[in-house]
Amino acid sequence: MPRLDGKLCVVTGAARGIGAAIARAFVAEGAEVVLTDLSAEDLAPLADTLGQLALPLDVGSEEDWAALADAVPECDVVVNNAGITGLEDGAVHDPEHATLADWQAVHRVNTDGTFLGCRYAIRAMRPRGAGSIINISSRSGVVGIPAAAAYAASKAAVRNHTKSVALYCAGQGLNIRCNSIHPAAVLTPMWEPMLGDGPDRQQRMDALVADTPMRRFGRPEEIAALSILLASDECPYMTGAELTVDGGILAGSAGVPGGAEE
């Protein structure tokens, strides 16, 4: 029996990367998936391959969520995956130099988008009395990241809002669960501007995961595997939890003497 048989799932930022992997994995487990992203054109190749509905949705737009609610008034699972670092153009968002516009642009997608996605989800799941909301936060939501301060703060907001949503739903007597996933570096197009395709690509990759105990990037399918578990009915007592998928990076501290080989 497929693990998500009969479930209607909405995934944001599903055109590529982690969102696309989640959409693929959900369909493979028998779910019906509504793929959403900024543009219908970007979604078309994957949606056509999977034979699923694609709808444009800018997660920071209240109007877009209202349109989604009209098109998909009820569902079982929402994955609030869409997110940006704000560093795509090589910007540095440290606490001294980030502009207010930089800060707000990141929070519009990551924080406002997750708030609106959770609100839509609660309303769309209430008629069914049950559901699963999966918020893709980050390991950056648990620790400070000086060069990506806006991103880190936004992912911390996602982590905390997940718990408010979980408690609210339980308090309402709803069997709607809400949990957050905290990946570390997962190899998706998000990293491409930083890696480039020059001869030093591998060196850059190695440097980026040098402090990760497992010394490699994660794969989008590894986030999708955990998302299947959360979307399924297999862990109905889990809500308000934060789950790391990070090669062990949050298990320890760089400040602790005596690392693996030192």
Ligand X SMILES: NC(=O)c1ccc[n+]([C@@H]2O[C@H](COP(=O)([O-])OP(=O)(O)OC[C@H]3O[C@@H](n4cnc5c(N)ncnc54)[C@H](O)[C@@H]3O)[C@@H](O)[C@H]2O)c1
Q: Which residues bind ligand X (CB under 6 A)?
A: 12-13, 15-19, 37-38, 57-60, 81-84, 109, 136, 138, 183, 185-186, 188-190
* Shortest reach from residue 122's CB to ligand X, in Å: 19
- The yes-or-no answer on residue 237 being catalytic is no
In the numeric block, which tokens belong to residue 41?
């054109």
CA triple 95-101-104, angle to 5 deg: 80
At closest approach, how far in Å is the CB of 153 from ligand X? 13
Across the chain, how many H-helices and E-strands are there?
A: 9, 7
Cβ proximity to ligand X, 128 vs 211, nearer residue: 211
CA angle at residue 222 from 78 to 124, to 5 degrees? 5
Least distance (Å) from ligand X to the CB of residue 161?
13
Of 115 and 262, the one with the shorter C-beta distance to ligand X is 115
Q: Looking at 120, 151, 168, 237, which residue is catalytic?
A: 151
Closer CB to ligand X, residue 83 or residue 131? 83
| Closer by beta carbon to ligand X, 84 or else 166 | 84
Q: How far is the CB of 113 from ligand X (least distance, A)?
A: 6
H-assigned helices in the chain:
17-28, 40-50, 62-71, 100-107, 113-125, 149-171, 192-195, 201-208, 220-231
Cα–Cα distance between 256 and 81 in angstroms, integer? 33
Count Cβ atoms within 10 A of the Cβ of residue 4 and give its class: 0-12 exposed, 13-18 middle, 19 or more buried: buried
Residues belonging to the active site: 151
